[in-house]
Structure 1
Amino acid sequence: MLDAADGLIDYLNASPSPFHACESSARMLRDAGFVQLAERDEWPVETGRWFIIRGGSLVAWSTEHSDGPATGFRVVGAHTDSPNFRIKPRPDRSSLGWQQLGVEPYGGLITNSWLDRDLGLSGRVTVRQDGQVQAKLLLVDEPLLRISRLAIHLDRSAAEGESLNKQFQLSPHWGLDSAPMFVEFLADRLDVAAADVLGWDVMTHDVQPAEYVGLAKEFIAGARMDNLATSYAGTRALLDAVGNAPATPTTQVLVLFDHEEIGSMTDRGAFSVLLPTVLERITATLGGSRGDLHRALAATVIASGDMAHATHPNYADRHEPEHRIAMNGGPVLKINTNGRYATDSVGQAAFVQACAQADVPVQSFVVRSDLPCGSTVGPMTSALTGAVTVDFGAPTLSMHSVRELVGSDDQRMYAAALAAFLSPA
């Protein structure tokens, strides 16, 4: 039961930023014989296992079970980003002898959950080195930063929950008068001159590692479950699926998008042409035309994965009463008649069949009719490709908190269902 759960814990702890998540998946893919390609190069025409990385996004695929250029795709999608604080371009601040950093909230984070946490830094820094401009990964998994809350003696209303000003009350402190300028800190960590640090995509992360919770290790608590639990399960599923020939020939694809938490409308988000372009190029490597691509898309099914709300035992009234979602109860179909999720009956059938093939239960989530519904990359991916799409997730509590909670056994069932989806019997 704990094999997939152990793997998720390792994946989470190695992936504090979207860029590191892509590297974590890339290591797993390379170990299974996948070869990284560059988007600017010609791609090999022989069948095989391939992947690309664009910033914090990754696309991997296998054409080993394809049957010509019009072969349909089976696609599992997820996203690599999570809500956090990101470092501003001119972050250095000083107040009353304290050295602080200017940060900007990224995505819909539960702000109060980040208070009084030990925070590290991670992400990507673009530098000039040896006459070339190159991007370097940064990982400082040490307690460098802290956003301290105000003592209750100075604000009695804090007992009922703080109302925080994002500009003035969320600047983390990281030293007193001796702290270096942020650019100097980056330069020292990356072994370049400060003048050669050209820009950064650097963010904060909680340095407390993911770990088991519960008397029988029923749960895993950790950061970035939304949505690295799906990124890990999808990567693991692709590795399992490539060894199993599907009953009907298919091209197996994994896509991990960045920027879902801020709307996906970037060069590597789900609203970009990243996935359609890769699918078109795969078709071309198989000798196909644009007409073959459209034939392939008509035979394609996409499973868009993002975490699902487990029914909270302390807030049962916030959930649809006829659609309770149990922790360790299996993967969750996400359905919304107003199109906030892409699931229709055809996509639902494909996912239900995959769960049956994997011998795991399946649950169904709908939001309470008088509450707004969140969304994910499924609808935009479906709109851009025209392919049948199903949205799904795994049960989660504390979504968008600095630490979230998932079920240990759900991770095994999650990966198994996705492997079956990629290689249908």
Structure 2
Amino acid sequence: MNAANELLSFIKKGTSPFHVAAESAKILDAAGFQSLDLCRDWNLQRGGRYYVTVYGTSLFAFHIGEKLETSHSLRILSAHTDHPCLRIKPAPEMTSKSFLKVNVECYGGLIRNTWMDRPLSVAGRVTLKGDSVFAPRTRLVEISRPLLTIPNLAIHVNREINSGQELNPQNDMLPIAGLLEDDLNQDTFFYDFLADELGVPPEDILDFDLYVYNAEDGCLLGLRNEFLSAPRLDNLTSVMACLKGITAAGNGDVNGKSVSLIALYDNEEVGSQTKQGADSMITTILLKKLYAALGISEARMYDNLLAGLMISMDVAHGYHPNRPDKNDLTNFPQAGGGFALKINTSQRYATDSAALGVIQQLCAAHRIPYQKYVNRSDIPGGSTLGSLSSAWLPMLTADVGVPVLAMHSARELMAAGDQDSLNRLAMEFFMEE
């Protein structure tokens, strides 16, 4: 399966951060990685391949070189599992005449109008009563069919719609779930639906973390299928590349003197400052457990960390052919030109010239196409987890990503071939001596 089709398959399964982490774990299981419990002692072996899931939505995986010494190379790839979407609120049941609606809120900086008139569905986690009050049960849920939609007002009653209209997130973004019928309880219809999907009594449902996702499949398009159009390109392109990199690092051909690690964080779209986000001490805790299990002191761990290298992977803004005025005058990554090295003087991206030098030489050695992205001087641009994670892990860091159009839309666009360049960067990053 080529990189583009592999990505499309992964996107179809990665409908929520919980499902991204679960699907990533399946890929790692198939590659021979061993699952660890974050809250237990670890028995690690040189040459071993391991992963740990954190709070259901973040995941770390690592490979320990067979010839690992106290002083060694530490290499980290990072990405995020979440995407801008709608999150379902508690007590979500609403009615308007005969319409059933679901109360939601915006998660992250989504382009609201792109969520209108689309088939939508629901995925995430439901928490159920357990045998102990301190140990409730959890179940993943994905409604694998179109379930919801948010209809636009017709142009006949909203003549200004093509002049630009702000959509109020509380009034205008409420999805329709169905029609009120005699056998439905208007006060509990959503909980009753969830209970039926899970095969449990409604009273067993304590709470949930449920997200509304775009239920449309991704596809290739263009005269020669040169484009890939799909939901959740931000940031499953990067999660896919991280998985390709770490499984390559664990296949026995890697430099045996390195610790290779991927960090797939949740909550980047809302700032990363959560227990499972990049702006937390979770990675430091994991590294301390890893090095303690290898019998390497904390001081030596920090030596290797300070001498190490991290690549933060998140999508980049590609050149928009209809609005070239939104791009920098000399730095504008184009679709099909390879992944982008992301640079920002305000340190919204962590990249500096030393990190760039490493990546550029790595790409030259393996003929991997790349470009550079800098935002216009009069547009602040976006940010990602690179600077946040490198504040906790003070190591040389570069921010990179596939150039996309319509970032944070319900459906985004990229060149299909650019995924291959990102995958190859991830693999060679871990494989290089």
TM range (shorter): over 0.9
Structure 1 CA distance for aligned equivalents of residues 402 and 18 of structure 2: 23
Q: Deviations over 1:13-32 (max 9, x none)?
A: 01100111111111111111
Over the matched positions of the two proteins, sequence identity in percent amounts to 37
Question: 1:271, 1:380 within 8 Å by CA — same for their partners in 2?
Answer: yes
8 Å CA contact 2:68, 2:256 repeated in 1: no
Q: Which residue of 1 aligns with 2:322?
A: 314
Residues 1:269 and 2:277 are matched in the alignment? yes
Secondary structure of 1:94's aligned partner: strand
Q: 1:241 Cα shift? A: 2.6
C-alpha separation between the residues in 1 aligned to 2:301 and 2:31?
Answer: 27
Map 1:324-343; keep pairs closer than 5 Å: 324-343=332-351
Question: Deviations along 1:36-76, whole A, 9 cap, x unmatched?
Answer: 11111111132210001112100000013562344331000
Question: CA, structure 1 residues 346+66, in 2 after alignment: closer, same or farther (shift >3 Å)?
Answer: farther
Residue 51 of structure 2 aligns with which residue?
51
Aligned counterpart, 1:191 = 199
Quote the residue 1:19 is aligned against.
18
Secondary structure in structure 1 of the residue aligned to 2:18 = helix
* Alpha-carbon RMSD: 1.5
Matched residue, 1:234 = 242
Moved more, 288-297 or 61-70: 61-70
The residue identity in structure 2 corresponding to 1:17 is S
Cα distance in 2 for partners of 1:400, 1:150 equals: 22
Answer with 92-101 or 65-74: which moved more. Answer: 65-74
* CA apart distance, 1:242: 2.5
Distance 1:73 1:164 in 2: 46
> What residue number does 2:110 align with?
109
Which of 276, 292, 298 lines up with 1:284 in the alignment? 292
- Correspondences of 1:150-169 after superposition (within 5 Å): 150-169=153-172
Tell me which residue corresponds to 1:91: 92
Determine helix, strand or coil for the equivalent of 1:382: helix
User: For 2:246 and 2:67, how far apart are their aligned partners in 1?
Assistant: 15
Q: How far apart are the structure 2 equivalents of 1:51 and 1:247?
A: 19
Q: 1: CA distance between counterparts of 2:255 and 2:275? A: 35
SS at match of 1:102: strand
Change (3 A) 1:239 1:357: farther
Structure 2: which 5+ residue stretches go unaligned? none
Question: Could you tell me which residue of structure 1 aligns to residue 144 of structure 2?
Answer: 141
TM-score for both structures, normalised by structure 2: 0.95
Structure 2 match to 1:293: 301
What residue is the counterpart of 1:259 in the other structure?
267
Whole-angstrom distance in 1 between the partners of 2:79 and 2:330: 27
The DSSP-based 3-state class of the residue aligned with 1:103 is strand
Residue 218 of structure 2 is aligned to residue 207 of structure 1: no
The answer to whether structure 1 residue 366 and structure 2 residue 385 are counterparts is no
Deviation at 1:162?
2.5
Would you say the 8 A contact 1:68–1:286 is kept in 2? no
Letter in 2 for 1:276: T
CA distance in 1, matches of 2:257, 2:306: 14
- Aligned residue identity for 1:59: F
1:318-371 CA distance string (max 9 Å, x none): 000201211111111000111111001121122112222331121000000011
Task: Please give the residue correspondences for 1:352-363 in structure 2 after superposition, counting only pairs within 5 Å.
Answer: 352-363=360-371
1:176 aligns with 2:179: yes
Separation (CA, whole Å) in 2 of partners of 1:245 and 1:335: 32
CA distance in 2 between counterparts of 1:360 and 1:309 reads 19
Structure 2 match to 1:406: 414
> Equivalents in 1 of 2:222, 2:70: separation in Å?
49
Q: Is the 8 A contact 1:69 1:286 kept in 2?
A: no
In the alignment, which of 384, 397, 400 is matched to residue 389 of structure 1? Answer: 397
Shift of 1:407: 1.1
Letter in 2 for 1:188: D
Aligned-partner SS, 2:388: helix
Amino acid at match of 2:416: S
Name the stretch that deviates more: 208-217 or 233-242. Answer: 233-242
Residues 248 and 254 in structure 2, CA contact (< 8 A), matched pair in contact too: no
Contact between 1:70 and 1:283, CA under 8 Å: does it hold in 2? no
Q: Which residue of 1 aligns with 2:5?
A: 6
Query: 2:341 is aligned with what amino acid?
Result: L
Tell me, what secondary structure is at the counterpart of 2:417?
Answer: helix
Measured in 2, the distance between the counterparts of 1:244 and 1:304 equals 24
The letter for the 2-side match of 1:333 is L
Structure 1, residues 79-119: CA drift from partner, whole Å, max 9, x if none? 01000000001111011221100000000000000000110
In the superposition, relative to structure 1, how do residues 66 and 395 fare at CA in structure 2: closer, same or farther (>3 Å)? farther
Alpha carbons 1:71, 1:250 under 8 Å: kept: yes
The number of equivalent residue pairs is 424
Unaligned runs of 5+ in 1: none
2:50 is equivalent to residue 42 of structure 1: no
Q: CA deviation at 1:187?
A: 1.1
